[in-house]
Structure 1
Amino acid sequence: MRFLFAQDSPYSQEGKRLSSYLSYIIPTISFDGSKTSKHQHDNTPIRSASGGYNYEDFEYQDVPSDNYVDCNPMCNSMDLSKDDNINEDHTSRRSSSSSDVFEEAKEQQTPHASKKSRLNLTDESTFISPELYEFLETCLPNIVKGRQWVLLYSTLKHGISLRTLIRKSAELSCPGLLIVGDMQGAVFGGLLDCPLKPTAKRKYQGTNQTFVFTTVYGQPRLFLPTGLNRYYYMCLTDILALGGGGNFALCLEEDLLTGTSGPSDTFGNLCLAHSPEFQLKNVELWGFSHASTFQS
């Protein structure tokens, strides 16, 4: 490396020490004034008009005045405490903000109303859970879908009588939903055309919008008409049955205490209850609010 000052300069010993120190900190300069050092600095020495460098200027420009710190103890303590307060305030705000965001997200994830409160029923049901309600709502014909469900008949409320069930169905001029259950916990039933009209002989009625369903296999399961026959349902004074061809898909006796179920050609269903013969826990018939005055 070559330094700006030559060793044979007529400076004093002190001057030599100073020149050696300055030579160490000043980048190596070639004779034509160009820099040759690999370590460049942002603040370059100011070159004088004579072609040399004014090192008095260089000594003061290398450190910006913004980097100086006021060493007054009182000022420092005040500034530090102020900074601490600011930091604490910012931390508190961040914590509060994070908490608010968390609570807001939690509120969005948690429904304001339970599923049970969203059931559009006029009365409580022995069988209808929120999941079953949502399932059956999607299965209903468009003419009644989305309407309020009205309990027309229940053995717990109106007594054990098929005749009473038939009479209460007269309040409907649209499909009605029959829901029953066995003592082992299965819930099943079907959609019927109402009002129910008992016939003197065994004669099938209904349309292809009739269906049967069950929960005995876990999730609710729907069985639609297969088209093999038109044995949709049969209504007598002593029997109410859905499906035919091989077996009734569902058959209720006059006393509404017992029933039977088996595979039918009409719906292609399996047994809807836990066993082909069963005792009934309850029988409900539901109508829909836009189709009747539903007088008690």
Structure 2
Amino acid sequence: MGVAYSVGEVDHLYTFFSQWSPDISTKCNKTNKKARAPAYIIREKNHSRYLVLAQDKAALIDKLLRDAANPAAKNWEIITVNKPKRKLSLSSFEESDEPAYQDDVEDTLPVLSEQSLLLDHLHLEKVSAHLPVRTQGYPWQLAYSTAVHGSSLKTLYRNMAGLDSPVLLVIRDMHKKVFGAFSSDPFRISHGCYGTGETFLFSFNPDFQLYKWTGENYYFVSGNLESLQIGGGGGCFGLWLDADLYHGSSFSCPTFHNAPLSTHEDFIVQDLEVWTLHS
């Protein structure tokens, strides 16, 4: 026997699902990343919440239509998770004493695979606001650290081999200044410059400063066995590191129109980390 639905309920459900279409960046340079399914939060009257992903769509339709046929049994409402938002922890919905849902879910900070020696909460908050949308929703893993791997540009290149995702370089010098660069491409030995206009320099010296691509040239990143260079033009590099990842320098360059990232144009590296997306 057929089930009768009210016109209002059916129209609502039809509109809801017909407009449910993925609008998420899935491309990461040359390699397509696994698409992340759009999600909705179902909030029940008993205050339990759970995420519903696209692959659960058929089951959700059945549930909603059954409830629509019996208004007295309807005990849910739909709350959208707007793009671009980072991944939400299902356990956080269940364990938190505070409401874990809202009409516009706040962005969360990048999730690091392990504790960083250089990036604190403030650093992550400031830098993450300027990362490309395509990096959102992925955890970050430590690809290289002088504290773990020693000080060697060769080792850094070796750890980058086979990667095809953006990287975040963070440096602390002997004057305790923290600065670095976001590169659209992993660091490698090259015969010329590589990268895209997503690349930028930043510093906490002590206030956060961001230096984006000016469009004046394409000297984003280049590397050889002797050094790694980020930004350039006019004989100056925005950020330069030697083969031992010990001596470095930072000058204003046309690529980013940056101020020197450290308090001294020539500096000594105390600690260095490189983070990359873990897909």
TM-score (normalised: structure 2): 0.59
User: Structure 2: where are the runs of 5+ without partners?
Assistant: 1-96, 99-107
**Which letter maps to 1:236?**
N
Q: Does 1:265 align with 2:254?
A: yes
Q: Is the 1:156–1:282 contact (alpha carbons within 8 Å) kept by the matching residues of 2?
A: yes
**Equivalence for 2:128:** 137
**Which letter maps to 2:228?**
L
TM-score (normalised: structure 1): 0.55
Pick one of 107, 121, 138 that aligns with 2:112.
121
Q: Over alpha carbons, which structure has the higher Rg?
A: 1
Task: Report how many aligned residue pairs link the two structures.
Answer: 174
Q: Post-superposition shift, 1:194?
A: 3.2
Q: Post-superposition shift, 1:119?
A: 6.2
Deviation track 1:127-162 (CA, whole Å, cap 9, x = no partner) reads: 101011011111111111232111010011011110
Determine helix, strand or coil for the equivalent of 2:260.
coil
Pick one of 195, 204, 208 that aligns with 1:215.
204
Percent identity of equivalent pairs: 34
Q: Post-superposition shift, 1:197?
A: 2.9
- Identify the range of structure 1 (265-274 vs 134-143) with the bigger mean alpha-carbon deviation: 134-143
**Equivalence for 1:172:** 163
Q: Is the 2:185–2:195 contact (alpha carbons within 8 Å) kept by the matching residues of 1?
A: no
Correspondence 1:115-264 to 2 at 5 A = 120-199=111-190, 201=191, 203-216=192-205, 218-246=206-234, 247-264=236-253
Deviation track 1:240-259 (CA, whole Å, cap 9, x = no partner) reads: 01111231110000001110
Q: Is the 1:262–1:270 contact (alpha carbons within 8 Å) kept by the matching residues of 2?
A: yes
Determine helix, strand or coil for the equivalent of 2:258.
coil
Q: Is the 2:194–2:220 contact (alpha carbons within 8 Å) kept by the matching residues of 1?
A: yes
- CA RMSD, 1 decimal: 2.0
Which has the larger strand fraction? 2
Spell out structure 1 runs of 4+ moving beyond 3 A: none
User: Structure 1: where are the runs of 5+ without partners?
Assistant: 1-106, 109-116, 291-296
Partners in 2 of 1:134 and 1:171 — Cα distance?
Answer: 29
